[in-house]
């Protein structure tokens, strides 16, 4: 029996991934971790204070490694739009 596909994987994130979000455009950034995909398409996050949040995808950025090894933030919409390279066997 196969497990159902992970809806977060389609967005390019996993449960526990570190992200940052804004409550509105131009607001402050808040750090959080990914928990789930909500029914309305937003991402369920847990912020540093332990509060659960449901944030739209366009207000979330994902941490990744830049060309010089430092942390850079990419919009989740860009990560989700990127095609995934399949692993060679």
For residue range 4-31, what is the model confidence (pLDDT) as tens digits? 567 788 788 889 999 999 888 888 999 9
Residue 3: band (very low, low, confident or very high) from pLDDT cuts 50, 70, 90: low
For residue range 36-89, what is the model confidence (pLDDT) as tens digits? 999 998 999 999 999 999 999 999 999 888 889 999 999 998 888 775 555 555
- Cα angle 17, 19, 21; round to 5: 150
* Strand ordering across the sheet containing 43-47: 52-55, 43-47, 30-37, 18-21, 60-65, 71-75
Rg (CA), the chain: 14
Predicted pLDDT at 1:
54
Domain boundaries, given as residue ranges, for the chain: 7-79
On whether the CB atoms of residues 44 and 51 are closer than 8 A, the answer is: no
Which pTM value belongs to this model? Answer: 0.80
Output the CATH code of domain 7-79: 2.30.30
């Amino acid at each position: 029996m196969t497990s159902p596909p992970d809806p977060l994987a389609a967005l390019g994130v996993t449960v526990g991934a570190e992200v940052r979000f804004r409550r509105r455009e131009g607001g402050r950034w808040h750090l959080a971790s990914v928990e789930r995909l909500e029914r309305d398409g937003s991402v369920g996050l847990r912020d540093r204070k332990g509060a659960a949040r449901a944030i739209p995808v366009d207000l979330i950025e994902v941490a990744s490694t830049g060309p010089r090894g430092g942390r850079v933030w990419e919009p989740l919409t860009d990560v989700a739009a990127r095609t995934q390279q399949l692993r060679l066997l």
